[in-house]
Structures are given as C-alpha cells and as structure tokens.
Amino acid sequence: MEGFSSEADYLQELDRRAVLPEGFRASTGRLTFTPQERPTQEPYRMNLSLLLADEPTEVFASVLTRNAFPGAPILLARKRMGERAVRGVLVNNKISNVCTASGVEDAERLLEELSRLVDIPATQLFSVSTGIIGWALPVADMVRALPPTVAALHTGSAVDFARGIMTTDGFPKVRSAKAGTGSIIAFAKGAGMIEPNMATMLVFIATDVSLPREEAQAALSEVTARTFNRISVDSDQSTSDMALLLSSGKRGSVSRSQFTESLFEVCERLAEDIVRNGEGTGHVIRVSVSGMRDESVAAAAGKAVINSPLVKTAIYGNDPNVGRIVSALGDFAGNSGVEVDRSRLSIRLGSWEVFSKGVFHLDRDNEVSLSSYLQEAAMNPRIKGYPQHDGRVDIQIDFGLGSEGAVVFGSDLSHEYIQENADYRT
C-alpha cells in the first residue's frame, strides 16, 4: 500500500507532484477578519490564493454545480465562460459567498482590485469562494491582502496554493501526470458536502499541453462524469463548486484520446484523495457495480450503497453487516422502479462472496475474516496531515442482468464526521 508516515514525508512527495506546468504562476496570502454575522473575540483566518497563466488563454473549460441556489462565484463563472480568453483565478476559503445581498458585487470588486495590481482585465479572472454559506465576504480585509499575495507569485512547486484553498481538508491534494512533452496538474479542495455533480469541491487544473478549447471542454466533461461525479462523502451537493481547466499551450499537442486518458488518471486519483481526506473518513469504500443494463443505473445503485448511513456506520465499526448492503440495494431498486432479480444478484466484500443466488453466505469463519479485512482498511481519522495508506474496502455487486457497470467511491460515517460538522463554524 502507498502511504506516508509523516506530514513531512507527504509534503516532499507533493512538492514533486505540484510543479506548475510551463506558463503558470501561483501564490497564497493570509488575512484575518471579524465576520459581521458573528462578532467574536478571536478573529477568523482566511487564505487568498492565486493561480494565473502568464498570458491570456483561449483554452479553458469548466464544470459547474447543478445546485439551484448557486453562489456568486458560479454566477460569475457562467459569465466568464462566454469570454474569448481568461488568465486565472482568485480563491478564498472560509466564506463561500452564497446568497448574500451583495455577493456578485463583492466578487467583482475584488477582481477589479486584483485587475489593477496584475494589469489583467477583470473579465479574464474568476473569483472562487469556499466555506460557510450565507455570510458576506470581508471585502475590505481581502483587498488589503491582495498586494502581498500578488507579490508572492511564483513558478515551480505550488504546494502553497494547494494548501491555501483548503477549508476542513486535512491535507493538501495534488495529482499530476505527463501528457506528451507537457503535463497536467490538478489541485483539489473538498472534505465535506461531497456528492456528484461538483459538490463542495473545487478543482483547478493547469496544463501546458496545446489543444483546442472544444477538446479541453469535452475531456473535462467526460472525465468529471466518471471521477468527481462518482464520489460521495455525505450525499450533499453544494452551492459553489466547480472544476476549472486552463491550458497555457506552451508545450506540444497530444492526441485527443491521450489527453483524456492523462486527465482521467489525474482526476481519478484526485477524486479518491478527496474521499480519503473527507471529514472524518475512517474507511474509503469502493463500490463496483456490474451486470446492469445501463451505466447510470449502475452508478446510482453504487451511490445508494455508499450513501446508506447504515452501511457507512457498520463499516466504520468494522462490522461486516452485509445485510445492510442488500437492504440498500433493494431500497434503491424498489423505489426507483429498476427491475432486479434477487436470484441473479451476487455480492463480494473484499475477496469473500457474501451473497449469491438470492441468499446470504454467512458463517463464523467468514465473519471473522471480513471483520479483520475491514480493520486492515481502517484509517485513524485523527491523523489529519497526510494519507496514512491507500487501502480501501472493496464491495463488488453483480446484478447479472447486463453488461454495463460503474465504480463509485465513498466513505464511512464516523464520530469524527459528527464532531467536525456539529459546530463547523466555531
């Protein structure tokens, strides 16, 4: 198993992964502020992070949340997608800038200030926010933090950017891959509210591969559908989130399929990183559904399993309570109208077949083995600074009805999740 024994160990590896492609610079600055909605004695801390291409690029793509009450950053991003060229993104954590009276104006004001400092039209810049919903951005404090953030822009390793965009994330998340003579690098923020369709997740992808804009968008849409939209930490989709891809085009081009393949490799790993670093994640769960007539139904069945609180708590307790898997599948099928046949269903947990031909196969020996298997895949959710290992709980479900399938990732439901979310804002 891949794993790290200390934060320093992990950061060293990240330094290698986080090298910016040619034609990009990044930085992160800090500020403190007192939210007008909750004046406290201790001020709050916020990071302001920048990712900029050296020149305007016409090659950019995005996937934006489907939440019907999107935040100002999404409203602004929709406008930006109509621009001919863009340069980069300003990201703040702590406050998500959603449904406040002056949300869009606040974001535009910030971008105007940034525009002056970097001499880039504000219309070429994205403003992205993540954090508490419903509070207003501390614009004046943020404006004061812009000059040092701009002054700190640098090439090379951008672990600072990966760290700057974190909210309740335990560790920075970066993945990269070669693509021809160029590279693709992706940063992610996301720890809670992780569900399909870009749910409280920010992903920023920079590449120097030269490719047409339509290909970039097609690749991002296709890869997102099979990676970020196939993970769920708590089934909640957020108001704010997005995946954004920018190419500097400084290096050679590659075939469309090669670019998509490299992008998939990067995003698949990053998606699993997000789950592994989910709020309170004690086990990463991978559900592979096969034997379905339709890929989207297979994915939905897998989601039903990884979103079941009863499945999630059992796995947290290293309890191989496989009855709950069958119940979750039956619940999904019975209430979505998908026709299934119990006698064709088979389920494996790890390498043990626990259900086939309509009945459970449970005995003392496999209960003991299954419990050990779950224990071995467990992580200590209190170790936050780095991924301890890349072990996971594998659940394989075969409906025996067709040739389509899907893989989804999720997490268990732990005391630490409750702890983090019961008073997130303090």
Q: What's the min distance (Å) between Cβ of 412 and a second copy? A: 9
Q: Which stretch binds a second copy (CB under 8 A): 12-20, 116-124, 265-273, 415-423?
A: 415-423
Q: What's the min distance (Å) between Cβ of 276 and a second copy? A: 18
Q: What's the min distance (Å) between Cβ of 160 and a second copy? A: 28
Q: What's the min distance (Å) between Cβ of 251 and a second copy? A: 37
Q: Which residues contact 8 (CB under 8 A, 6 or more apart)?
A: none
Q: Which is nearer to a second copy, 178 or 424 (CB)?
A: 424
Q: Which stretch binds a second copy (CB under 8 A): 49-57, 131-139, 256-264, 383-391?
A: 131-139
Q: Which is nearer to a second copy, 37 or 222 (CB)?
A: 37
Among 16, 30, 45, 66, indicate the residue that binds a second copy (CB under 8 A). Answer: 66
Among 236, 261, 295, 394, indicate the residue that binds a second copy (CB under 8 A). Answer: 236
Q: Which is nearer to a second copy, 257 or 380 (CB)?
A: 380
How distant is the alpha carbon of residue 33 from its chain centre? 27
DSSP collapsed to 3 states, the chain: CCCCCCHHHHHHHHHHHCECCCCEEEEEEEEEECCCCCCCCCCEEEEEEEEEEEEEECCEEEEECCCCCCCHHHHHHHHHCCCCCEEEEEEECCECCCCCCCHHHHHHHHHHHHHHHHCCCHHHEEEEECCECCCCCCHHHHHHHHHHHHHCCECCECHHHHHHCCCCCCCCEEEEEEECCEEEEEEEECCCCCCCCCCCCEEEEEECCECCHHHHHHHHHHHHHHCHHHEECCCCCCCCCEEEEEECCCCCECCHHHHHHHHHHHHHHHHHHHHHCCCCCCCEEEEEEEEECCHHHHHHHHHHHHCCHHHHHHHHCCCCCCHHHHHHHHHHHHHHCCCCCHHHCEEEECCEEEEECCEECCCHHHHHHHHHHHHHHCCCCCCCCCCCCCCCEEEEEECCCCCEEEEEEEECCCHHHHHHHHCCCC
Residue 293 binding a second copy, by CB under 8 A:
no
Residues 309-328 that bind a second copy (CB under 8 A): 309-310, 313-314, 316-319, 321-324, 326-328
Q: Which stretch binds a second copy (CB under 8 A): 151-159, 164-172, 284-292, 306-314?
A: 306-314
Q: Which is nearer to a second copy, 160 or 319 (CB)?
A: 319
Residues contacting a second copy: total by CB under 8 A: 78
Among 49, 237, 277, 290, indicate the residue that binds a second copy (CB under 8 A). Answer: 237
Q: Which is nearer to a second copy, 158 or 340 (CB)?
A: 340
Q: Which is nearer to a second copy, 216 or 311 (CB)?
A: 311
**Tokens 């998500």 sit at which residue?**
96
Q: Which stretch binds a second copy (CB under 8 A): 157-165, 209-217, 237-245, 383-391?
A: 237-245
Residues 70-129 that bind a second copy (CB under 8 A): 70, 96, 98-101
Clarify whether 200 is annotated catalytic.
yes
Q: Which is nearer to a second copy, 235 or 288 (CB)?
A: 235
| Nearest Cα to Cα of residue 278 among 349, 185, 200 | 200
Residues 28-47 that bind a second copy (CB under 8 A): 36-39
Residues 366-395 that bind a second copy (CB under 8 A): 367
Q: Which residues contact 368 (CB under 8 A, 6 or more apart)?
A: none
Residues 190-229 that bind a second copy (CB under 8 A): 192-193, 195, 197, 199
Residues 334-363 that bind a second copy (CB under 8 A): 334-335, 338, 340, 342, 345, 355, 358-360, 362-363
The active-site residue, picked from 149, 167, 200, 260, is 200
As annotated, the active-site residues are 200
